[in-house]
């Protein structure tokens, strides 16, 4: 049995310990906001927070996620209010197809948790692992600054 | 997520934004809450809330608008409902949008058009019937109210979701009128508005799907979760056109969760209760393939074959004046050869389809650019009647031309059939399968010659092109050896009208690698070629590239775009050493677009693109906010291909498999993109308002603008892509 704590809820799952966290979240737990894009830690679509840090869930075996606080895109809002990154995303109309955006929002959230006042190079470093095929980078940058109160 | 939660979420955004300086001009509509429905697809049958097939009104005055096109990021899912609302005169804050039913479209004789979301035509070809649908619904609501009040309909009008009778001050909400309105018979359908009558369309509005795409609730095809659903991973024969000979499945049959190993003619699939289990098992299989003769081909052979074919024979595709003899007699001829490779679409969401096949019904959940034709294909595959196919349109995680053919759907159906699987089955292409079973942007090579007069005028262009044919690859005829997609940007669709002698000859040349539409289609390579070459000619003539282009056109749209670009980019201002500015101008998919790139060449020869200025004339636009987004994204999409994009073939199979070897542009390398519209409005030759598309016109200019900027900065001319293969420090200056 694998025990995962996702968005504050505990799930006991009868799954292989080497199953990547991504597939446990998407298929076993049924939270589909976290996306599959590459499976090899190249694109960031699967980004979740593990103890507050941005992690590529496609490359993290569930055994290594046990006992940690896992947060997915579905767990970012509090009492129905979106977090400030999500609000900035909507205000700047960042998404196009939207498929990468859960991962982008998670990466940006981790950045702002760690560095509330990021400069350009902080943003570059934190977001370099997240591909957006639609090319929404201009607005991603703008939205992060807005969320940091720099808009 | 309930509607209420979404509403409060949106309201919160507005107040929060205002607190930080209130820059959300477009969001300041009080109570703004138009959105997509949580279940994106509409029901498959008419319902009593409908005024017509496009418009339904709930008792609480929620206005449901149906969108015939797919939403793959391009924004039509917000733009077309805006056009409907413009005609309907409803309260936009109460709007909820669904994708129109494919099944109903089949049964009700194409009431929703062709449902083909491609070619930047989401708005440019569907505005007449979408506007008509809104206008017709409005006229019926007005008529219903007029009958109730016993007054002439012409004395009533629709305002913000109500019909009002000004003389008596009476009004009735749409919701109260819907049942009567649905029964109204009109002598004639009302005229639709012309763009100069628009009050709402044309204004900057937020996209309807931003909230759902920022909180993880947006459902893509891959997110389908039906009761009892199984998951399949598939591998196609690595050599296109090859066959599966045999596969030993003994190693995987007993693995946990595996229910089926399915052999198709040209692929093998594993079905399991979790996608990861299916895909892990698939990786363990050692299928034996027969790739046939194609298994002995590679990119080096192809590259040579395309270049060699430039010497003809070519089919004449354009012939104005007498370019051949002008070139023969000219004292100043510039010649250059260019080439570009195959490209993958690599949509962020790998292709997938979920099917539930039963004896008398097939349900499909996927995001498709061509849901209607995919449903018809599914009918053929299953032997069911088209009206037994129920296609549930979902969000597309990118399209770019890939999601029109239904290859993934065909796989899902065949696996379900061959495996006798009568529960819902989700077939998902792994990234590697997605990269290697694509239909690619065609490969091509080109030779361009230009004749300049002694005073630097362009007298003739002579273009020889060898290009892959999408038509041939997709089984369509190419009468006279002409495929329009291969000519885009070098044949008829160019922004110039003052080149007196112009010849374009072309040979269509395919290999066993399938080719298809890739965002901007022919323009993706041809605009790079022509616009780089125009830059070469300008420099050879000793003329400023912008002024040189001005001398080649007096088209209103081209001139407007050049003027706007000059203004926003600071064209002509000196730049420091090592930096350069490059320009390009294109016509693509019904619009004219120009870009100016600013680059810095670093000491090691690496190119940094600092900024791209983009000016676009799409004549009329529905939502400038989304147009800007398309142009920003289009330039970055194009730049990714320019820098890194290259699919190569070895032993008949595609080499690249994932984002480690098919690289993408990432945020730190992405330039700032500054957009501006240069809308000239106007009418087409039939007197109808002119509409352009921006999804592709934004892509076509980028590579040339960057390459021309590199030349301006370094004196080095880029004649083949991608840039990653070129060491600028080793390239001779011109
Ligand atoms: S799916 Fe995990 S990084 Fe791409
Ligand atoms: S919005 Fe489409 S991939 Fe990022």
**Band of pLDDT at residue B124, cut at 50, 70 and 90:** confident
Which residues on neighbouring strands pair with residue B460, listed in sequence order? Answer: B451, B501
Q: Phi first, then psi: what are they for B438, rounded to 5°?
A: -75, 175
Rounded CA gap, B551 and B656, in Å? 43
Residue-wise pLDDT for B284-330, tens only, equals: 999 999 999 999 999 999 999 999 999 989 999 999 999 999 999 99
Nearest by Cα to A48 from A86, A9, A4, A104: A104
**Mean pLDDT of all residues in B13-22:** 36
Q: Cβ-count burial of B71 within 10 angstroms (0-12 exposed, 13-18 middle, 19+ buried)?
A: buried
The more confident residue out of B5 and B59 is: B59
**Mean pLDDT of all residues in B217-226:** 97
Q: How remote is the CA of residue A42 from the centroid of ligand 1, in Å?
A: 6
- Return the pLDDT at B6: 41
Both A49 and A98 in a single domain?
no
Both A100 and A66 in a single domain?
no
Nearest to B431 among A19, A37, A95 (CB): A37
| Chain A residue with Cα closest to B674 | A138
Q: Is the pLDDT of residue B46 over 90?
A: no
Q: Cβ-count burial of A72 within 10 angstroms (0-12 exposed, 13-18 middle, 19+ buried)?
A: buried
Interface touch B274/A74, C-beta < 8 Å = no
**Mean pLDDT of all residues in B58-83:** 90
**Nearest bound ligand to the CA of residue B395:** 2
Q: How remote is the CA of residue A135 from the centroid of ligand 2, in Å?
A: 7
**Nearest bound ligand to the CA of residue A107:** 1
Sort out which chain A residues have CB atoms less than 8 A from B216's CB and list them. 31-34, 72-74, 102
Count how many pairs of residues, chain A against chain B, have C-beta atoms within 8 Å. Answer: 210
For chain A, the residue count is 151
Q: Measured between alpha carbons, how far is residue A134 from residues B223, B637, B670 in Å?
A: 19, 6, 12
- Asked whether the beta carbons of B221 and B394 are under 8 A apart, the reply is yes
Nearest to B348 among A37, A40, A86 (CB): A37
Q: How remote is the CA of residue B258 from the centroid of ligand 1, in Å?
A: 24
Which range among B40-44, B670-674, B691-695 has the greatest average pLDDT?
B670-674
**Mean pLDDT of all residues in B212-234:** 97
**Nearest bound ligand to the CA of residue A134:** 2
Q: Cβ-count burial of B348 within 10 angstroms (0-12 exposed, 13-18 middle, 19+ buried)?
A: buried
**Band of pLDDT at residue A151, cut at 50, 70 and 90:** low
* CA B113-B115-B120 angle, 5° bins: 110
**Nearest bound ligand to the CA of residue A40:** 1
Q: Is the pLDDT of residue A113 over 50?
A: yes
- Return the pLDDT at B21: 33
Cis ω before B722 (30° cut-off from 0): yes
Q: Which atom of ligand 1 is nearest to the CA of A41?
A: 3
**Other C-beta atoms lying within 10 Å of the C-beta of residue B663:** 17
Residue-wise pLDDT for B525-566, tens only, equals: 999 999 999 999 999 999 999 999 999 999 999 999 999 999
Decide: helix, strand or coil at residue B168. Answer: coil
Rounded CA gap, B99 and B86, in Å? 18
Interface touch B20/A149, C-beta < 8 Å = yes
Interface touch A82/B12, C-beta < 8 Å = yes
Residue owning tokens 């696996």: B415
Give Cβ neighbours of residue B172 (< 8 Å, ≥ 6 apart): B145, B148, B162, B163
**Band of pLDDT at residue B2, cut at 50, 70 and 90:** very low
Domains held by chain A: number: 2
Residue owning tokens 């009050």: B199
Nearest to A87 among B13, B400, B428 (CB): B13
Is the CA virtual torsion B476, B481, B482, B486 positive or negative? positive
Is some CB atom of chain A closer than 8 A to the CB atom of B518? Answer: no
On whether ipTM exceeds 0.95, the answer is yes
Q: Where do the DSSP E strands lie in A43-101?
A: 47-50, 53-56, 69-71
Interface touch A32/B75, C-beta < 8 Å = no
**Band of pLDDT at residue A76, cut at 50, 70 and 90:** very high
Sort out which chain A residues have CB atoms less than 8 A from B699's CB and list them. none
**Mean pLDDT of all residues in B418-437:** 98
Pocket of ligand 1 (CB under 6 A): A 36-39, 41-46, 56, 58
Sort out which chain B residues have CB atoms less than 8 A from A107's CB and list them. none
Q: Show which of residues 375-414 on chain B sit within 8 Å of chain A, judged by CB atoms.
A: 395-400
Q: How remote is the CA of residue B626 from the centroid of ligand 2, in Å?
A: 14
**Band of pLDDT at residue A134, cut at 50, 70 and 90:** very high
Residue owning tokens 């937020």: B206
Q: How remote is the CA of residue B209 from the centroid of ligand 2, in Å?
A: 13
**Other C-beta atoms lying within 10 Å of the C-beta of residue B29:** 16
The crossing angle, in degrees rounded to 10, of helices A101-114 and A84-91 is 130
The crossing angle, in degrees rounded to 10, of helices A101-114 and A120-127 is 130
Nearest to A133 among B12, B225, B346 (CB): B346
Sequential DSSP letters for B312-350: S--EEEEEES-HHHHHHH-S-EEEEEEEE-BB----SS-
Rounded CA gap, B356 and B528, in Å? 44
Is some CB atom of chain A closer than 8 A to the CB atom of B36? Answer: no
- Domain end call among A75, A93, A127: A75
Nearest by Cα to B564 from B486, B678, B465: B678
- Return the pLDDT at B479: 87
Both A42 and A67 in a single domain?
yes
Q: Which atom of ligand 1 is nearest to the CA of B659?
A: 4
Residue-wise pLDDT for B330-389, tens only, equals: 999 999 999 999 999 999 999 999 999 999 999 999 999 999 999 999 999 999 999 999
**Nearest bound ligand to the CA of residue A46:** 1
Q: Order of strands, edge to edge, in the sheet holding B458-467?
A: B315-320, B501-508, B458-467, B444-452, B333-340
- What is the separation, in whole angstroms, between the first and last Cα of chain A? 47
Nearest to B210 among A22, A93, A127 (CB): A93
**A contact test, residue of B281, B348, B397, B702 with most A CBs within 10 A:** B348
Sort out which chain B residues have CB atoms less than 8 A from A39's CB and list them. 279, 430-431, 658
Interface touch B431/A39, C-beta < 8 Å = yes
Say if ligand 2 is within 6 A of residue A95 CB.
yes
- Domain end call among A75, A107, A123: A75
Q: Which domain holds residue A99?
A: 84-147
Q: Phi first, then psi: what are they for B426, rounded to 5°?
A: -100, 115
- Return the pLDDT at B633: 97
Is some CB atom of chain A closer than 8 A to the CB atom of B75? Answer: yes
Nearest CA-CA distance, residue A67 and chain B, Å: 22
Interface touch B348/A139, C-beta < 8 Å = no
**Other C-beta atoms lying within 10 Å of the C-beta of residue B229:** 16
Nearest to B348 among A31, A39, A97 (CB): A97
Say if ligand 2 is within 6 A of residue A99 CB.
yes
Specify the residue with its C-alpha closest to ligand 2, atom 4: A132
Give Cβ neighbours of residue A102 (< 8 Å, ≥ 6 apart): A33, A34, A35, A45, A47, A72, A73, B216
| Chain B residue with Cα closest to A22 | B276
The model's pTM is: 0.95
Q: How remote is the CA of residue A54 from the centroid of ligand 1, in Å?
A: 12
Residue-wise pLDDT for B577-593, tens only, equals: 999 999 999 999 999 99
Interface touch B219/A20, C-beta < 8 Å = no
Nearest by Cα to B393 from B41, B26, B34: B41
Q: Check which CATH number belongs to the domain holding A122 and give it.
A: 1.10.150.120
- Return the pLDDT at B331: 97
**Band of pLDDT at residue B33, cut at 50, 70 and 90:** low
- Domain end call among A75, A106, A138: A75
Say if ligand 2 is within 6 A of residue A132 CB.
yes
Residue-wise pLDDT for A3-39, tens only, equals: 999 999 999 999 999 999 999 999 999 999 999 999 9
Say if ligand 2 is within 6 A of residue B398 CB.
yes
- Asked whether the beta carbons of B412 and B262 are under 8 A apart, the reply is no
* CA B456-B457-B458 angle, 5° bins: 120
Q: Check which CATH number belongs to the domain holding A14 and give it.
A: 3.10.20.30
Decide: helix, strand or coil at residue B395. Answer: strand
Sort out which chain A residues have CB atoms less than 8 A from B640's CB and list them. 135
**Nearest bound ligand to the CA of residue A54:** 1
Residue-wise pLDDT for B138-187, tens only, equals: 999 999 999 999 999 999 999 999 999 999 999 999 999 999 999 999 99
Say if ligand 2 is within 6 A of residue B159 CB.
no
HSE, side-chain direction, 13 A CA sphere, residue B297? 22
Rounded CA gap, B340 and B441, in Å? 10
Alpha helical stretches, state H, B355-480: 371-382, 407-418, 431-436, 470-473
Residue B619 Cα to chain centre, angstroms: 19
| Chain A residue with Cα closest to B367 | A97
**Band of pLDDT at residue A79, cut at 50, 70 and 90:** confident
Q: How remote is the CA of residue B520 from the centroid of ligand 1, in Å?
A: 28
Nearest CA-CA distance, residue A35 and chain B, Å: 8
Q: How remote is the CA of residue B1 from the centroid of ligand 1, in Å?
A: 26
Q: Measured between alpha carbons, how far is residue B680 from residues B73, B85, B349, B498, B592 in Å?
A: 26, 24, 36, 20, 11
Considering chain B, what is the average pLDDT of its residues?
93
Both A60 and A107 in a single domain?
no
Is some CB atom of chain A closer than 8 A to the CB atom of B214? Answer: yes
Residue-wise pLDDT for B455-498, tens only, equals: 999 999 999 999 999 999 999 999 899 999 999 999 988 999 99
Joined tokens for residue B418: 């061959």
Decide: helix, strand or coil at residue A64. Answer: helix
HSE, side-chain direction, 13 A CA sphere, residue B651? 7
| Domains present along chain B, CATH in parentheses | 9-212 (3.30.365.10), 222-291+351-428 (3.30.365.10), 302-341+441-730 (3.30.365.10)
Is some CB atom of chain A closer than 8 A to the CB atom of B216? Answer: yes
């Amino acid at each position: 049995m694998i025990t995962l704590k996702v968005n504050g809820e505990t799930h006991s799952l009868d799954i292989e310990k080497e199953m990547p966290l991504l597939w446990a979240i998407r298929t076993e737990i049924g939270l589909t906001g976290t996306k599959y894009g590459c499976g090899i830690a190249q694109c960031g679509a699967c980004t979740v927070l593990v103890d507050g840090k941005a992690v590529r869930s496609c490359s993290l075996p569930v055994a290594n996620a046990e006992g940690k606080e896992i947060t997915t895109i579905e767990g970012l809002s509090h009492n129905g209010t979106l977090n400030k990154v999500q609000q900035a995303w909507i205000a700047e109309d960042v998404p196009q197809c939207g498929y990468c955006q859960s991962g982008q929002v998670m990466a940006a959230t981790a950045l702002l948790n760690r560095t509330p006042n990021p400069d350009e190079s902080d943003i570059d470093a934190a977001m370099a692992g997240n591909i957006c095929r639609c090319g929404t980078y201009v607005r991603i940058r703008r939205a992060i600054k807005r969320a940091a109160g720099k808009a | 997520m309930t509607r209420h939660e979404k509403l409060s979420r949106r309201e919160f955004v507005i107040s929060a934004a205002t607190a930080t300086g209130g820059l959300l001009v477009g969001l300041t509509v009080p109570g703004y809450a138009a959105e997509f429905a949580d279940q994106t697809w509409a029901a498959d049958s008419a319902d009593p809330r409908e005024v017509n097939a496009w418009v339904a009104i709930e008792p609480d005055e929620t206005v449901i608008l149906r969108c015939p096109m797919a939403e793959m990021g391009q924004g039509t899912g917000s733009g077309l409902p805006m056009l409907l609302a413009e005609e309907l005169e409803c309260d936009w804050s109460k709007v909820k949008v669904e994708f129109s039913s494919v099944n109903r479209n089949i049964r009700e004789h194409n009431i929703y058009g062709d449902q083909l979301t491609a070619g930047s035509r989401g708005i440019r070809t569907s505005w007449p019937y979408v506007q008509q649908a809104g206008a017709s619904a409005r006229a019926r609501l007005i008529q219903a109210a007029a009958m109730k009040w016993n007054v002439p309909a012409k004395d009533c009008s629709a305002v913000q979701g109500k019909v009002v009778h000004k003389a008596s001050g009476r009004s009735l909400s749409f919701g109260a009128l819907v049942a009567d309105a649905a029964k109204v018979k009109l002598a004639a359908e009302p005229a639709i508005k012309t763009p100069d009558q628009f009050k709402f369309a044309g204004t900057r509005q937020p996209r309807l799907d931003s909230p759902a795409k920022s909180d993880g609730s947006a459902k893509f095809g891959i997110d389908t979760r039906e009761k009892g659903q199984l998951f399949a991973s598939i591998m196609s024969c690595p050599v296109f056109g090859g066959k599966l000979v045999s596969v030993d499945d003994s190693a995987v049959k007993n693995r946990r969760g595996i229910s089926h190993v399915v052999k198709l003619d040209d692929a093998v699939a594993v079905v399991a209760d979790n996608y990861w289990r299916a895909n892990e098992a698939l990786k363990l299989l050692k299928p034996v393939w027969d790739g046939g003769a194609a298994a002995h081909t590679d990119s080096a052979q192809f590259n040579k074959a395309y270049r060699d074919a430039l010497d003809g024979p070519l089919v004449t595709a354009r012939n104005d004046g007498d370019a051949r003899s002008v070139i023969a007699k000219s004292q100043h001829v510039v010649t250059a050869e260019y080439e570009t490779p195959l490209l993958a679409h690599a949509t962020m969401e790998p292709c997938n389809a979920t099917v539930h096949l039963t004896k008398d019904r097939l349900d499909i959940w996927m995001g498709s650019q061509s849901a209607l034709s995919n449903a018809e294909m599914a009918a053929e595959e299953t032997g069911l009647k088209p009206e037994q196919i129920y296609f549930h349109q979902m969000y597309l995680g990118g399209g770019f031309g890939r999601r029109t053919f239904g290859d993934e759907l065909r796989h899902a159906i065949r696996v379900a059939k061959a495996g006798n699987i009568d529960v819902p089955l989700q077939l998902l292409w792994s990234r590697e399968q997605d990269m290697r079973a694509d239909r690619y942007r065609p490969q091509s090579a080109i030779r361009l010659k230009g004749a300049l007069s002694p005073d630097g005028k362009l007298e003739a262009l002579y273009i020889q092109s060898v290009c892959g044919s999408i038509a041939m690859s997709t089984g369509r005829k190419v009468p006279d050896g002409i495929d329009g997609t291969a000519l885009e940007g070098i044949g008829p669709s160019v922004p110039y009208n003052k080149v007196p002698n112009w010849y374009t000859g072309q040979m269509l040349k395919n290999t066993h690698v399938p080719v298809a539409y890739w965002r901007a289609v022919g323009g993706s390579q041809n605009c790079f070629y022509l616009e780089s070459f125009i830059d070469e000619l300008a420099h050879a003539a000793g003329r400023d590239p912008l002024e040189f282009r001005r001398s080649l056109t007096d088209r209103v749209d081209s001139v407007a775009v050049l003027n706007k670009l000059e203004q926003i980019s600071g064209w002509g201002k000196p730049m420091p050493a090592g930096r350069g500015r490059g320009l390009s101008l294109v016509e693509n998919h019904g619009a004219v677009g120009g870009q100016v790139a600013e680059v810095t060449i670093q000491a090691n020869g690496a190119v940094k693109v600092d900024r791209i200025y983009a000016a676009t004339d799409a004549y009329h636009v529905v939502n400038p906010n989304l147009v800007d987004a398309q142009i920003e994204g289009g330039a970055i999409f194009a730049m990714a291909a320019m820098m890194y994009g290259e699919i190569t073939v070895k032993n008949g199979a595609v080499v690249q498999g994932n984002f480690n070897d098919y690289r993408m542009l990432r945020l730190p390398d992405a330039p700032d993109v500054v957009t501006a519209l240069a809308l000239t409005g106007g009418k087409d030759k039939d007197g109808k308002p002119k509409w352009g598309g921006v999804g592709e016109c934004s892509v076509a200019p980028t590579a040339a603008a960057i390459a021309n900027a590199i030349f301006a900065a370094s004196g080095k001319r880029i004649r083949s892509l991608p840039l990653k293969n070129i060491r600028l420090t080793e390239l001779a200056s011109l």
